[in-house]
């Protein structure tokens, strides 16, 4: 029996063919029924909003933008008159999306897309997902390793063990199923059409950190450090209260500092107060403490964090009684006293205090260089960890290609199924979730908060509030928050708080408008993110327009 090759060609709604799969875009809620109706009636006016996507001009949008993308192909036999493939021979079909490989630029040049090298979204035998670079011979392997042709030795038991060994290390490529259009439509068109919905959003993530750790710029790290962690030392030590140079957790609040050291106003610019230099000096200390803790992990007990503290411990801080303490140890004590203390469960108790030094050893340029090197070494693993997990399509600047595959029943009863691949599509980009698509979202009506509505509004959502959180909220006032105090009596039971969602939305709308007006002073965002136009009044008794 002569075996005929099978090839897949893209086809649009009008029947025009091309070599790669055709990518269609539609925004019908009932896309499948309308899409299939248009396919079955090519001579009739279309009922769907289906258009061919020019991927060089626009990205593929996500479901959040209420857009749908479909790949469409036609299967033919490579023989005289190119007859269509019998749909009953199609065992299964699907679509894969592969990412264009991004190569590093040489000699400081920008990275560039290698369109001849692709990566596949793979699941390892342990269930971990990641992008895996493909070699040319891997690109046409079956995405499912269990369906690939296995090595055989003629010994059934040995073959079973060889297959188990192969599957224990083989990755499985993520696929999307493809479907044949109804048999009557295919028969009427004289084609074998298959379509697949293109996934442009995915919940799958890669927990594997990037192979190349992010490169930290020492100069950039140095520029972000406060003066206390640089060789350019303060002209004076951070100011502390008198007569007792002690502070507690409240001193970490800028509002509390401004209350202790009020800004001054000049007669020429009374509306623009000048920050108190003493407050600014102490803020330098709080910034250094926070950065050591949250940015560099100096107090986490890691080797990188200990290296930072060891450098700081080579210098001392001096107190009013002339006693000294290694600088790293002082920062550790400050972290436990000022950052670790939780005031809310112990609102009635006296918070712990920290004695501030009266003098700090200056750091030399060599100390500064060693400290920056240690900080870069600490940031590298921390930033690499922060970059994982990564979503499948997280980077909206990356380019992708898709292709479809078909498992075809062999013409002979003794032959294995034939795997047929389409060509790759043109490269495309997947739009980020925040990009504006071509289909607007319907407006959300807000209620008119009349007295009648307010009387009838009932809580329609509830939150279970832990006792500690309820204690923090009870009795809290704006002035209390500004001064670093607040909270009511300590409660011992949990609570359930009910709210009315429409009223919460109205409150959020008020707050949003206030903050937009404030941010607009610096960023001028308002004309772009808030557009209000009058809504014409519509009588509830007005007839519906149009005819069914």
Alpha carbon 37 to its chain centroid, in Å, reads 38
**Residue 220 in tokens:** 């950039």
pLDDT at res. 271: 58
Domain range summary for the chain, segments of one domain joined by +: 6-105+174-207+393-429, 218-264+273-386, 451-529
Confidence of residue 252 (pLDDT cuts 50, 70, 90): confident
- Which contiguous run of DSSP H or E holds residue 186? helix 183-189
Say how far apart CA 438 and CA 28 lie, in whole Å.
Answer: 12
Measured from the Cβ of residue 403, the count of other Cβ atoms closer than 10 Å reads 21
* Interaxial angle between packed helices 327-334 and 303-312, expressed in degrees from 0 to 180 and rounded to the nearest 10: 120
pLDDT at res. 288: 92
Please report, for the chain, how many H helices and E strands are present, in that order.
14, 24
HEC string of 495-544 equals EEEEECHHHHHHHHHHHHHHHHHHHHHHHCCHHHHCCCCCCCCCCCCCCC
pLDDT at res. 136: 92
CB–CB of 95/121 below 8 Å?
no
Instruction: At 417, give phi and psi (nearest 5°).
Output: -60, 155
> pTM here?
0.74
pLDDT at res. 183: 93
Instruction: At 316, give phi and psi (nearest 5°).
Output: -120, 160
Instruction: State the maximum Cα–Cα separation within the chain, in Å, rounded to a whole number.
Output: 103
pLDDT digits (tens, 9 = 90+) for 363-388: 888 999 999 999 999 888 777 766 66
Please report the sign of the dihedral spanned by the C-alpha atoms of residue 93, residue 407, residue 75, residue 83: negative
Q: Which residues contact 42 (CB under 8 A, 6 or more apart)?
A: 13, 14, 15, 189
pLDDT digits (tens, 9 = 90+) for 132-150: 999 999 999 999 999 988 7
Query: Which candidate, 2, 72, 59, places its Cα nearest to that of 31?
Result: 72
Q: What percent of the chain has pLDDT over 90?
A: 38
pLDDT at res. 1: 43
Please report the sign of the dihedral spanned by the C-alpha atoms of residue 143, residue 169, residue 205, residue 424: negative
Say how far apart CA 398 and CA 131 lie, in whole Å.
Answer: 12
Confidence of residue 358 (pLDDT cuts 50, 70, 90): confident
pLDDT at res. 243: 47
Q: Report the Cα–Cα distance between both ends of the chain, in Å, rounded.
A: 57
pLDDT at res. 44: 86
| DSSP code for 539 | -
> How many Cα atoms within 13 Å fall on the side-chain side of residue 223?
5
Task: Tell me how long the chain is.
Answer: 548
Say how far apart CA 468 and CA 328 lie, in whole Å.
Answer: 33
pLDDT digits (tens, 9 = 90+) for 164-212: 888 888 999 999 999 999 999 999 999 999 999 999 999 898 877 666 6
């Amino acid at each position: 029996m002569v075996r005929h090759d099978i090839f897949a060609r893209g086809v649009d709604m009008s029947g025009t063919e091309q070599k790669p799969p055709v990518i269609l875009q539609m925004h019908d809620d009932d896309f499948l029924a309308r899409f299939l109706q248009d396919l079955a009636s090519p001579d009739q006016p279309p009922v769907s909003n289906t258009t061919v996507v020019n991927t060089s001009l626009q990205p593929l949008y996500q479901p959040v933008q209420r857009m749908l993308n479909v790949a469409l192909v036609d299967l033919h036999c490579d023989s005289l008159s190119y007859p269509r493939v019998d749909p009953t021979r199609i065992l299964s079909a699907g679509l894969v999306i592969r990412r264009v490989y991004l190569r590093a630029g040489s000699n400081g040049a920008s990275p560039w897309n290698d369109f001849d090298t692709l990566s596949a979204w793979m699941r390892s035998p342990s269930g971990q997902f990641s992008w895996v670079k493909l070699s040319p011979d891997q690109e046409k392997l079956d995405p499912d390793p269990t369906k690939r042709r296995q090595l055989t030795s003629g010994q059934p038991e040995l073959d079973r063990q060889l297959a188990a060994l192969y599957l224990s290390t083989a990755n499985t490529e993520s696929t999307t199923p493809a479907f044949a259009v109804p048999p009557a439509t295919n028969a009427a068109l004289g084609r074998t059409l298959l379509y697949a919905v293109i996934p442009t959003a995915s919940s799958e993530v890669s927990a594997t950190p990037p192979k190349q750790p992010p490169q930290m710029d020492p100069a950039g790290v140095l520029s972000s450090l406060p003066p206390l962690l640089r060789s350019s030392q303060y002209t004076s030590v951070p100011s502390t209260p008198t007569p007792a140079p002690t502070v507690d957790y409240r001193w970490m609040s800028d509002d509390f500092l401004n209350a202790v050291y009020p800004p001054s106003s000049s007669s020429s610019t009374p509306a623009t107060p000048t920050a108190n230099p003493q407050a600014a000096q102490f803020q330098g200390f709080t910034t250094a403490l926070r950065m050591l803790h949250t940015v560099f992990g100096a107090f986490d007990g890691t080797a990188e964090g200990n290296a930072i503290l060891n450098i700081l411990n080579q210098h001392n801080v001096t107190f009013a009684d002339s006693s000294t303490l290694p600088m790293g140890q002082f920062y550790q004590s400050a972290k436990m006293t000022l950052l670790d203390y939780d005031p809310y469960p112990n609102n009635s108790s006296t918070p712990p205090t920290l004695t501030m030094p009266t003098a700090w050893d200056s750091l030399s340029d060599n100390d500064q260089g060693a400290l920056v090197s240690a900080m870069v070494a600490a940031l590298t693993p921390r930033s690499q960890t922060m970059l994982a997990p990564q979503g499948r399509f997280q980077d909206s600047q990356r380019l992708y290609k898709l292709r479809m595959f078909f498992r075809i029943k062999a013409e002979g009863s003794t032959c294995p199924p034939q795997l047929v691949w389409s060509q790759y599509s043109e490269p495309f980009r997947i739009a980020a979730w925040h990009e504006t698509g071509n289909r607007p979202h319907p407006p959300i009506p807000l209620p008119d908060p009349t007295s009648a509505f307010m009387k009838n509004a009932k809580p329609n959502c509830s939150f279970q509030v832990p006792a500690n959180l309820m204690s923090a909220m009870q009795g809290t006032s704006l002035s209390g928050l500004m001064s670093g105090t607040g909270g009511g009596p300590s409660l011992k039971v949990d609570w359930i708080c009910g709210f009315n969602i429409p009223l919460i939305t109205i409150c959020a709308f008020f707050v949003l408008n206030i903050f937009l007006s404030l941010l607009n002073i610096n960023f001028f965002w308002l004309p772009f993110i808030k557009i209000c136009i009058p809504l014409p009044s519509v009588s509830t008794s007005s007839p519906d327009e149009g005819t069914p």
